[in-house]
Structure 1
Amino acid sequence: MNAPADTTPNASSARSLRLAVLLATYMQSANLPLPNAVLRLIQGSLSMTDDQAGWIFTAYLAASAITMPIAQWLAARFGLKRVYQAALAFFVLGLLLATVSSTPLEFIGARIIQGLASGVLAPLSMAIAMETLAPEKRMKFGATWTAIVLMGIVSGPSIGGWIAEHYDWRPIFFVSLPLSTYIFLVVALLLTEKKAAKAPAFDFFGFGTFTLALISLQMLLDRGERMDWFDSPEIWIEALAGGLGLYLFLMHVLTKQAHFLNKSLFRDRNFVLSTIIFFAVGFVLLSTMALTSPMLDEILGYPPDTTGALTIPRGIGLVGAFLLMGRVPERFDRRWFVAAGAGAVIYANWLMLGYSPLMDWSPVAVTGAIQGVGIGMLMPSLTKVAFSTLDPALRPEGTGLFNLSRVYGSTIGVAIVQIFFFNNTQAMHLALGNNVTPYSAAAHFGTASLPLPTLEGLSHLITHQAAFIAVVDQFKILMVAMLVVSPLILFLRKPAAAN
């Protein structure tokens, strides 16, 4: 964009503006997992099925993945201040619609609106903050910004759980309303409007085909189980649309000089391998949260505030390790920290395979903390390795793709674990049910202390056990995902800054 480096009149205004955009960054990241600890209440209130509950997260993530790549172009074309305020207003609209929703589709629609606004707020918040800082301070602030994003992701469920336990699930979205008002007023008063003198170029064809492939794949994964997969014409349409979008995008990339994703990015080995590993990090982090909270809330019967509070150890481990990594001297080879972080994440998921219906809260807290420490080590180290060999001219575009890989990983990860969870629950229910006979039921329950259960009670007990086994099986998928990408660490080059 053609604009002066400093958009604020003085240092005090610059600090106020940075605080406002950091609050916006925290708000949009916290709203992603905010309903995680209260899914049972939302499902009961809106008559939402289990597969629709997964859309609460995937709708938000997929929508933000659509608008994130185009946010900078919108700001350059229509004005940074105008676009940012419009995104804030749109975000508030999504919050209000969520609180008045009476059907699952209305609530998912509200989450889509929140996600679309979030995809604009996140990169533009970073851009506004960077413009208020001297160039030598921007690198350090980038770490602060990432820590705020992570803090929002891991603290959202605890906030939502506490509010829902003492009030209701709908007020969880009201928390963001005063924050949004404050941010809007600060931006209105202190941010100078700016936009490019000339309409910037943007590869709409590449962006459109890439988005078509992404949304079609997401719809296929989200709707496949409900529509009985390829027995449904809808799933065929989504599969064909996704395949067509991917084909057109690849042909566009291979035949055009300038396009949505610069081909030069894919010539840097460290960047490509790190982006793949970062995709797996996103796959594991939010999918683990999407499985753990319902397990505690719906299967083990923990109240929402306790369910939310058990995400805090993961948050402390993640943010603490992330901040400590910023103090590691440059002479240390970051590849070792990438390997250690991946090992900690794999170990944490392996421990999750030992979860039992008879356990208390401590195994969840311990495994969450270990996983948090692993991801907190992995993310900054991987970022350092990814960009250490990349041409500085490619870093802005590389940063966008690198962050998008985490978002895409989270979106696809949540959808996949939901699919396998429902399939495994049905399979385990059938397997357990086949072993129940009137004689075995009488032998186990036909006592004074354990009276013979009703057919409904017995079915509920089997469903409960089948669901728990299915959840544990999904932790195995997440562990395998990290195991699969871990060998890529061996092919990373030593970062130049570590010499």
Structure 2
Amino acid sequence: MAYNERQPLARGQLILMTIALSLATFMQVLDSTIANVAIPTIAGDLGASNTQGTWVITSFGVANAISIPLTGWLARRFGEVKLFIASTAAFALASWACGMSTNLTMLIFFRVIQGIVAGPLIPLSQSLLLNNYPPAKRSMAMSLWAMTVIVAPICGPILGGWISDNYHWGWIFFINVPIGVVVVLLAIKTLGQRDTPTRKQPIDVVGLVMLTLGIGCLQVMLDRGKELDWFSSTEIITLTVVAIVALLILIIWELTDEHPIIDLSLFKSRNFTIGCGSISLAYMLYFGTIVLLPQLLQEVFGYTATWAGLASAPVGILPVILSPIIGRFAPRIDMRYLVTFSFIMYAICFYWRAYTFEPGMSFADAAWPQFIQGFAVACFFMPLTTITLSGLPAERIAAASGLSNFIRTLGGSIGTSITTTLWTDREAIHHNQLTESINVYNPNAQQSYHQLESLGLSHQQASSYIAQQITNQGLIISANEIFWAAGGIFVVLLVVIWFAKPPFHSGGSGGGAH
């Protein structure tokens, strides 16, 4: 019996499989953000600088970005279930090794291993869900799965900060071990006898080398660009040139090779191209602001890392409540309506922030747009993933999911780099403009000096205070400009998504996707 003709799992088995696949996704997404706030603690404990410590993040991101698009080839070669179980077990083992590391070199080495073996987890969790659920319940499956993708990036910084403040930083990695064991046991129980057909294919050595070189250089360039002042640095220029050349060779080679390691022919599907492009660009904006918001609250409004995380956390409340409801009724709804609602809510929330972020802003002012944005997030991942994979046969789902998740992940990295760079660059421009008005000819400026000096501050202390207020004002204005721009891009995406062609079914169902 062909894989896509097998009977779906029974109810109890479905529940256990869903728990296993969701936990694996949660573990992998959580690990991409949990270490961020703990870098100072890790670096200090291992006798390294904060700059050296950031390689704990970069090494995982580079290795993960390279391995994600290999999922399709690996799944065809070894089987989706075997690959998923092996990746989960290796991830748990690498996590344990990270926590046991006694120096930075050792930690970075095991973070690279962790990133490599983590690559297939998200694409395979999508593929295995879709191919083992009854067609009528696949929307529900994707909604439940999407909750983990939404909640994990929010939990990461909060949990990472709490662990590093109260326990040894190694527990940031140790917590993956029991989760990994549970996932492996549940996956063996529910999917052990349901692996996909395998076939031996020659290794695309040229494609693998170009992929590793191109994506590796691109990811390092994005991670270190801001620190090295971008293209004023020879290192960044070199990385960019190598990345562009390697990726161009990769694209040309993969389009002509008989057994490509990345299946670029997927872009012949209209729905894959539109869905993949939309989810990647939207995620770039969403993830960029996930990074920007806590920094803004800490630098300008004096929030601690924990309170900044709590102000960001409300975005996960509504998706947890709404995702099962949306999943239940989604088969009766044109996915484009759900995505349209999502993009409208994203635009509204970005414009809302641009109006309300100002000095003296309360915690509620920061948290409410995050809460309402939960409506957008709830109608985001599942519909766009369904559109992306619609019309593809079951045997191509793993490759399509791998390529889509790779581009989405890369979009998140690009979004982070662009957002943080624009934020500081625009702040410098606004700082210079605002500073020009602080002179002896400006009565408002002189009045501010008199008021501060009447409170007991020296002229130098008053100048320092005013300079800090100008910096804060510049950071707020530049953040608001980013919010305005993001809202505008979501308005444009509203038009793009309507070029997708129904019906929107995945996991082997037919549909005019070309």
Normalised to the residue count of structure 1, the TM-score between the two structures is 0.81
| SS of structure 2 residue aligned to 1:199 | coil
Task: Tell me by how many angstroms 1:262 deviates.
Answer: 3.8
Instruction: Please name the residue that 1:292 is paired with.
Output: 293
Is this contact kept in 1: 2:221–2:240, CA < 8 A? Answer: yes
Please show how residues 356-367 of structure 1 align to structure 2 within 5 Å: 356-367=358-369
Kept after mapping to 2: 8 A contact 1:25/1:125: yes
Determine which of 380, 383, 398 is the counterpart of 2:382: 380
The alpha-carbon deviation at position 291 of structure 1 amounts to 0.9
Secondary structure in 2 aligned to 1:282? Answer: helix
Q: Which runs of 5+ in 2 are unaligned?
A: 506-510
1:240 aligns with 2:247: no
- 1:449-469, Cα deviation, whole Å (9 max, x unpaired): 766553655554444444344
Counterpart contact for 2:319–2:377, Cα < 8 Å: yes
**Are the counterparts in 2 of residues 66 and 116 from structure 1 also a CA contact under 8 Å?**
yes
* Counterparts of 1:357 and 1:99, CA distance in 2: 44
- Classify the secondary structure of the residue corresponding to 2:454: coil
Q: Distance in 1 between matches of 2:388 and 2:412?
A: 19
Shift of 1:171: 4.2
Cα distance, 1:263–1:320 mapped onto 2, change above 3 Å: same
Q: In the alignment, does 2:31 pair up with 1:31?
A: yes
1:443 to 440, 445, 450: 450
Alignment of 1:346-357 (within 5 A): 346-354=347-355, 355-357=357-359
**CA offset at residue 477 of structure 1?**
4.0
Equivalent-residue separation in structure 2 for 1:433 and 1:116 (angstroms): 48
Cα shift readout 1:410-451 (whole Å, capped 9, x = no counterpart): 121112212222323333444444444587463341112766
**Contact 2:312-2:370 within 8 A present in 1 as well:** yes
Alpha carbons of structure 1 residues 228 and 306: separation in structure 2 relative to 1, 3 Å: closer
- The amino acid across from 1:220 in the alignment is M
Report the alpha carbon displacement of residue 277 of structure 1 after superposing the two structures with TM: 0.6
Counterpart in the other structure of 2:329: 328
Q: Distance in 1 between matches of 2:130 and 2:329?
A: 23
Task: Report the Cα distance in structure 2 between the residues aligned to 1:477 and 1:59, rounded to whole angstroms.
Answer: 31
Displacement of 1:195 in angstroms is: 9.3
Q: How does 1:301-340 map to 2 (within 5 A)?
A: 301-328=302-329, 330-340=331-341
Q: Please, which of 48, 57, 71 is the counterpart of residue 50 of structure 2?
A: 48
TM-score by length of 2: 0.79
2:495 pairs, out of 474, 481, 487, with 487
Q: Which residue of 1 aligns with 2:160?
A: 160
Cα deviations across residues 297-319 of structure 1 (Å, max 9, x unaligned)? 34322233322222331011233
Inter-partner Cα distance in structure 2 for 1:342 and 1:15? 31
Counterparts of 2:25 and 2:497, CA distance in 1: 30
Q: How many percent identity over aligned positions?
A: 26
Letter in 1 for 2:160: G
Bigger drift between 251-260 and 91-100 goes to 91-100
Pick closer, same or farther for the CA change 1:133–1:174 going to 2, 3 Å: same
Cα offsets for 1:306-365 (capped at 9, x unmatched): 222223310112333433321225343222222111111111111121312311111222
From the superposition, tell whether residues 380 and 88 of structure 1 become closer, same or farther in structure 2 (CA, over 3 Å): same
Does the CA-based 8 Å contact 1:91-1:117 persist in structure 2?
Answer: no
Q: 1:303 to 1:482 in 2, by over 3 A?
A: same
* Inter-partner Cα distance in structure 1 for 2:36 and 2:223: 18
Return the alpha-carbon distance in structure 2 between the equivalents of residues 74 and 254 of structure 1. Answer: 19
Gap change, CA 1:399 and 1:196, over 3 Å in 2: closer
Q: Which residue of 2 aligns with 1:205?
A: 206
Match of residue 176 from structure 1: 176
- 1:415–1:446: structure 2 CA closer, same or farther, 3 Å change rule? same
Deviation track 1:157-210 (CA, whole Å, cap 9, x = no partner) reads: 333344455557664444334333444566689975979775344544334434
Corresponding residue number in structure 1 for 2:508:
none
Maintained 8 Å contact 1:147/1:319: yes
Give the direction of change, closer, same or farther, for the CA distance of 1:263–1:198 in structure 2 (3 Å limit): closer
